[in-house]
Amino acid sequence: MFVTRKLPQHLGQSGWVSMLPSRPPRPALDGAVSADIAIIGGGFAGLSAARRLSQLDPKLKVVVLEAGEIAEGATGRNSGFIIDLPHEVSSEDYGGSDSDARRHDFKVHRTAIALAQELATQKGWGKDIFDPCGKYNVALGPEGDRHVASYAKQLDKVGEPYRLLDAREIAAVTGGSSFSSAIYTPGTVIIQPAAYIRGLADSFRNPVKLYENTPALSFEREGVSWKIRTPKGSVKAGKVILANNGQAQNFGLFRGQLLHVYTYASMTEAFRPERLGGERSWAATPAFPMGTTVRRVRGDDGDRILIRSRYTYNPRMQVSEGAIERAGRVHDRKFEARFPGLKGVPMQYRWAGAMALTWNGVPAFGEIEPGIFAAIACNGVGATKATASGIAAAEAALGMDSWLVQVFRGFAAPRRLPPQPFLTIGATANLSMKEWSAGLE
């Protein structure tokens, strides 16, 4: 039997959720139900797994259990990038003997994009929810410029398209004069993550059933099936997909293998579009790892700027209001430095979002018990890697030996983490050093 020790907690008000109209949640599970496959977790991984299962076998009975309401957790706190190429632009990411492996990564990422694109086409979404506009990596100074130039050379080696922008050209995009250079890659999709995941959740029809506000409290072997207990009911299923990311550790799984890191974001009040030149919708990741992600979000009531930066190691999987406030002060400085013309525009929303990482950067994936399949640890690129992991878990649960399943099965096992207190000291120091190295970026 696997019993959870605690339920997820989420602090701060996500701007993505707050901008949307209210949505009545699906009813909580009340009573006993049965399914062919049960999925624990209603985020990118879990709902992508459910969609893939329904594609492969429309008659399959699938039950999805979400502890809270759809989009209220980490998924709705995401920055909204479904990337085909990595955020990081350091030269060691590409080229040399690793070129084939990197192309492998691109194909995995594009598998996630393909599922999202199919959903967007089916739902008839506009660019406010799903925008295949590409993304920018932006630099704020000479060191960042060197990283951008290095990235371009490595993309040449693997034959990926891009466009370099000088300070004037990126200013025409962002409306600000702070950025010194940028590189544009066309394959990324930017989404409104809360709207996207709500739309995915609401796309399901029988025999796929989604229960919200229904945390899994325990699961145990019962004959040839697994029985999942919830506060007011239970699910009996032949197979289970764990898609609850770091929360899997609360069931006693992957102990000593998952790093629990939180990242922070702030979003401004809506401002008049004419206050800032440039394009009204764009997305940029930083030239340096652990730098600052920036998005301009177009809305009917005006435009907003999203600033995401700051990372903390939180082994207990919870953050404080004070941590959000401290991160917010950093965001305010970064916002003012990048957009001095928007002086006086306040932040309206601030929030924290959880990530699960492994020391060696691999997912926690595979059949960990007979009939229990894990799609855990997105390692920081949640919309993309979690989607791909969910697709692979669905295929593996149906006994498929697809190309994607082979890729995920080919990853090494997550490395064991150092013991405490060395882990906390080392993780905290490492995050601080990387943020310090990013400097202005």
Q: Which two tokens stand for residue 153?
A: 């050379």
Smallest CA-to-CA distance from 260 within 333, 172, 357, 194 is with 357
Domain that holds residue 269: 1-90+193-274+293-441
CATH code of the domain covering residue 309: 3.50.50.60
The answer to the question of residue 390 being in a domain is yes
Q: Which two tokens stand for residue 414?
A: 């997550």
DSSP for 20-60, written as a single string: SPP-PPPPPP-EEEEEEEEEE--SHHHHHHHHHHHHH-TT-
Binning pLDDT at 50, 70 and 90, where does residue 433 land? confident
The answer to the question of residue 261 being in a domain is yes
Task: For residue range 35-57, list pLDDT tens digits in order.
Answer: 999 999 999 999 999 999 999 99
d(CA 349, CA 57): 41
Backbone angles phi, psi at 204, to 5 degrees: -80, 140
The answer to the question of residue 20 being in a domain is yes
* Residue 98 confidence (pLDDT) above 80: no
Task: For residue range 377-411, list pLDDT tens digits in order.
Answer: 988 788 999 999 999 999 999 999 999 999 999 99
The answer to the question of residue 347 being in a domain is yes
Q: What is the pTM (predicted TM-score) of this model?
A: 0.94
The answer to the question of residue 286 being in a domain is no
The answer to the question of residue 108 being in a domain is no
The answer to whether residues 66 and 210 touch, using CB atoms and an 8 Å cutoff, is yes
* Residue 422 confidence (pLDDT) above 90: no
The answer to the question of residue 384 being in a domain is yes
Task: For residue range 282-295, list pLDDT tens digits in order.
Answer: 999 998 877 899 99
> Beta partners for 183?
137, 164
Query: Who's near 387: CB < 8 A, 6+ residues apart?
Result: 44, 45, 48, 82, 112, 115, 116
Task: For residue range 336-388, list pLDDT tens digits in order.
Answer: 999 999 999 999 999 999 999 999 999 999 999 999 999 999 887 889 999 99
* Residue 101 confidence (pLDDT) above 70: no
Q: Report the amino acid identity of residue 331.
A: H
Binning pLDDT at 50, 70 and 90, where does residue 89 land? very low
The total number of structural domains in the chain stands at 1
What pLDDT score was predicted for residue 91? 37
> Which 8-state DSSP code applies to residue 342?
G
The answer to the question of residue 116 being in a domain is no
